[in-house]
Structure 1
Amino acid sequence: MSASAVASLRLELSLVQPVLWAASARMWHPDPRLPGRYRRYLRAMHQVIRASVPLMERAAARCEALPRDPVAPSLAPYLWAHAEEERGHDEWLLADAAVTGAPPDELTGSVPPPQVAALVGAQYYWLEHSHPVALLGYIAVLEGNAPAPGLAGRLARETGLPDAAFETVRLHADLDDGHSADLDRLLERLPLDAAQRSLVAVSALHTVASLAELFDRITAAPIEGESTDD
């Protein structure tokens, strides 16, 4: 994928990312519901992030099953290495939730909402039935929208929760910029054809839309004492 194609992907994303940023702003709006929303955010993000390593490992294995594919030899090592970098991040979320008073089974035992299934499940479909390069669109969005550097401190102040409840937010703010640069370099050298470039873009745009819907679901969480269908 040429540098101009990377720029094209970033341009396409720039047209839709305001939707995601607005959903994020609504979710983090300071009000009495914010502590509860943050706990719900931890649960949803655990449901998403626990799929990251399995997704990358499955995509890498699919690459290795495509020996004549010109993209697979460069894509597979990136995915295996990135899976190792992401390993254990779901445990970070469990630790953060424990600091807020949430038991582990509140995160691990709940049924993921449709927005999580749509966000993650589409990647399984595309990597199995189209091409594993689709996963790069998903990664581009998740790592290209890392938490702002000061978000963890602001949330601690506004929720009254301990600083230790925000370690995942803090760590991803530090790590994901470097990961985005690595991904851009990979995209620049992959020999993607037009259909594969389109697949990466479609995956990225779907990820933006699904993540914004998930954030809005979190924002709509009822206050304590209100009924919920979760």
Structure 2
Amino acid sequence: MSPSAVAGLRLELSLVEPVLRTAAARMWHSDTGLPGRYQHYLRSMHQVIRASVPLMERAAARCETLPHDPVARPLARYLRVHAEQERGHDDWLLSDAEASGTAPGKLTGTAPPAHVAALVGAQYYWIEHSHPVALLGYIAVLEGNAPAPGLAVRLARETGLPPAAFETVRLHADLDDGHSADLDRLIGGLPLNRTQRSLVAVSALHTVAALAELFDRIATAPHASESAP
């Protein structure tokens, strides 16, 4: 995949990401329901992010079953490194929950709803039944839509929760730009065929749609108009 192909993927995403930004803006709307929505966000994002390292490890393992695929070796190497970079980020969300007054067990003790399973589970399907390169589309969306700088400060101010409750938002705002640049370099250097390029794009577009749905559900949840306890 050439640098121009990376630019093409980013162009495709730029056409649909306004949907994601609009959903995020509704979720972070300033009103009395914001503390409750933030608690919902922590639970939902923990359900998503706890799957990140297992997804990358599974995709890397699948790559290792494709010894004659020229994409597999560099992809596996990237995924192993990136898995270590992401390891423990789900624990950040548990710490944020505790700082916000929510027992961490409320994040871990709930079965993920179908829309979260659809967001994450599609990646398992493509890894197992198509090609692990699909995961790059998922990563491109999640890391290409990092929280805005200053969001953690605004949320602390408007919810009344302590700044320590927003460490994951703050840290991802700082880290994900660099990770996106690394990903673009990888995609630009991989010798992807047409089917693989299409799979990365389909995965990315699915991720945008599913993540926007997740944010919309948080924004419109029944408790969203209530303050968190």
Q: TM-score w.r.t. structure 2 length?
A: 0.97
- Residues 1-230 of structure 1: matches in 2 within 5 Å? 1-223=1-223
Deviation at 1:221, TM superposition (A): 1.7
Q: Aligned partners of 1:180, 1:170: CA distance in 2, in Å?
A: 16
Give the secondary structure class of the aligned counterpart of 2:141.
Answer: helix
Give the secondary structure class of the aligned counterpart of 1:147.
Answer: coil
Q: Aligned AA for 1:101? A: G
Q: Aligned AA for 2:2? A: S
Q: Deviations over 1:121-172 (max 9, x none)?
A: 0000000000000000000000000001110000001111000000000000
Pairwise CA RMSD of aligned residues?
A: 1.1
Give the secondary structure class of the aligned counterpart of 2:14.
Answer: helix
Unaligned 5+ residue runs, structure 2? none
Number of matched pairs? 226
Q: Aligned partners of 1:222, 1:96: CA distance in 2, in Å?
A: 22
User: Closer, same or farther in 2 for the Cα pair 1:112/1:173, shift >3 Å?
Assistant: same
Q: Aligned partners of 1:224, 1:147: CA distance in 2, in Å?
A: 20
Deviation at 1:225, TM superposition (A): 9.8
**Identity of paired residues, percent?**
79
Q: Aligned partners of 1:96, 1:204: CA distance in 2, in Å?
A: 28
Q: Deviations over 1:174-207 (max 9, x none)?
A: 0000000000000010000000000000000000
Q: Aligned partners of 1:204, 1:224: CA distance in 2, in Å?
A: 28
Q: Aligned AA for 2:133? A: V
Q: Aligned AA for 1:113? A: P
Give the secondary structure class of the aligned counterpart of 2:67.
Answer: coil
Q: Aligned partners of 2:168, 2:225: CA distance in 1, in Å?
A: 28
Deviation at 1:113, TM superposition (A): 1.3
Q: TM-score w.r.t. structure 1 length?
A: 0.97
Q: Aligned partners of 1:209, 1:216: CA distance in 2, in Å?
A: 11
Deviation at 1:51, TM superposition (A): 0.1
